[in-house]
Structure 1
Amino acid sequence: MDMDLHADGAREEREPRSGGANLLVFLALLPLDALVGGYAWLVVGIGGWAAAHNGAEAAVPATELLVSGGVLAAVGPALCWGRYWGAAVAQFVLTAVLMAWLLSFYG
């Protein structure tokens, strides 16, 4: 039997989580965000530093930024599946802002 159906055959709607629960989940994910975002920031910084000391033009570390942005963005669908839609939106916004900020160093 489908667990989302009532005895009369009407489908039970899944309610979103409360704002407090979304905030707690988002705050719990901040260490992961800091770890992955810190790695991306470190790659951008070291790449720029090395290029400056070699006298070369700094190249965008596209692979590292795509992977780290992808890891952070992949958390969003998992949050949506758990009905933490507010936390998922905040996660996507944080990822977009972080990646745009890191890419801004390359003009």
Structure 2
Amino acid sequence: MNDNFDEGLWCHSEAIFHYSNKNALDLQVEYYTEDRSLYFSFFDDSGDGMGLLFKFESSLSPLLDSITNSQDKLSLENYKQYIKQWVEIYPNAYVQYDDDLVLLTLD
């Protein structure tokens, strides 16, 4: 997406962070000011993983701190424990299923 921006093409998110961790996951965070949301996704090379959307009212610092602190530890084996932490910080969270967003609950 940064290549699109560098080439002068339209980009709909205001900030993007991309990171590859030691567990062979590609992590991406996209920040959208228009609807006050943060999209976080993590996938391995085979396409396994997920996307999460967090809608927020106040500061993003607690969520970003938690994501940053877990970025090197996150894996497809332990991601549920981190999702629980993130949803406790911002309960207005959605998981992406195909093209739909479904409210995430901790049940």
Place the TM-score, normalised by the shorter chain, in its bin. Answer: under 0.3
Report which of the two structures shows the higher radius of gyration computed on alpha carbons: 1
Q: Which of 1 and 2 has higher RCO (CA within 8 Å, sep 6+)? A: 1
Q: TM-score scaled by structure 1?
A: 0.25
Q: TM-score, normalised by structure 2?
A: 0.25
